Amino acid sequence: RENFIHLCNPHLEKMKEDILYHFALGTGTHDFPALFGDVKFVCVGGSPSRMKSFIAYIAEELGFASPGGDYPNICAGTDRYAMYKVGPVLSVSHGMGIPSISIMLHELIKLLHHAKCSNITIIRIGTSGGIGLEPGSVVITRQSVDATFKPQFEQVILGKTVIRSTNLDEQLARELMQCSKEINQFNTVIGNTMCTLDFYEGQGRLDGAICLYNEEEKLQYLKEAYDSGVRNIEMESSVFAAMCNLSGVKGAVVCVTLLNRLEGDQISSSHDVLVEYQQRPQKLVGYFIKKSLGKV
């Protein structure tokens, strides 16, 4: 059964051309079905360099790699986002925070619609701060919750507050968990992910330029988060989940934890250790894609 992207915007049908400004792509200048029609998996992450390394990794895993082969940035006409493609896999950077990933997702969802893609799975792979987990643990998100632990994304539209659901696809989460068990290389859990509006005060850190609370208050808040089911903290999952839900797309968030926030605020692991940690979501999602394509 073909499941196509659901666009919640009737105005798009009246437009002669749709310019995806932040991708430097447009329906009047590019053949979207020819460029992207075979895409089945989209992986998104904050860093352009990390998403380029992911496409090189998945090309090797799927047997698409060629000796000395390079992977051109499809969005080279802009410096906002980077996009790479190998076979049925699209790899896109989204920057940091809800506003940045939101802009990217609006244009990505329209791109997939214009390309007539069907049965799409979108997975965010990234880094996060863990709560009560050893650094290097991977968290598959059950629900994205806000800073008050509610599973919702709140946005002001035309002066009115709109609240949207942030549940993620349960079956997809279970499939990813099964893949991690089969790989058996690192600790993986399914848990809630808290999505905050900033990296410092919003996540209860003591090391920002501004901090008007004490360590005891910080630890009490993080323990309340843990007791509510939160296992990690990042800054993009809520709007990601909300937009996947509205577009009828299967979505998942897979993030590695770089530290245990109950034990500190600063990321102090060596560069080599952090690089290995950051490869864990790539390995898990890469294995999932290979398995989905019958290549395992």
pLDDT of residue 68: 78
pLDDT score, position 66: 80
Domain range for 217 is 12-293
DSSP tag of 20: E
Task: Please report, in range form, the residues annotated as the binding site for phosphate.
Answer: 80, 124-127
How far apart CA 254 and CA 250 sit, in angstroms, is 13
247 domain-assigned: yes
CATH number at residue 245: 3.40.50.1580
Residue 6 domain flag: no
**pLDDT, position 69:** 81
Cα dist from 294 to 218, 253, 285, 289, whole Å: 46, 22, 14, 9
Q: Give the mean pLDDT per block of 10 residues along the chain (296 residues).
A: 91 96 98 98 97 96 87 96 98 98 98 97 98 98 98 98 97 98 98 98 98 98 98 98 97 98 96 97 98 96
Binding-site entries for substrate = 203, 205
User: What pLDDT was estimated at residue 2?
Assistant: 86
- Tokens 């906002």, located at residue: 80
Q: What is the pLDDT of residue 1?
A: 77
Local structure of 26: helix, strand or coil: strand
Residue 189 maps to a domain: yes
Instruction: Record the pTM.
Output: 0.97
Residue 3 lies in a domain: no
Contact predicate 210/201, CB 8 Å: yes
Q: Is residue 219 part of a domain?
A: yes
Q: Which residue has the tokens 């979207």?
A: 32
In a domain, 2, yes or no: no
**pLDDT of the residue at 156:** 98
Q: Is residue 36 part of a domain?
A: yes
The total number of structural domains in the chain stands at: 1
Binding site: what residues are annotated?
A: 80, 124-127, 203, 205
Is residue 89 domain-resident?
yes
- In this prediction, residue 240 carries a pLDDT of 98
Residue 225, pLDDT score: 98
pLDDT value for 48: 97
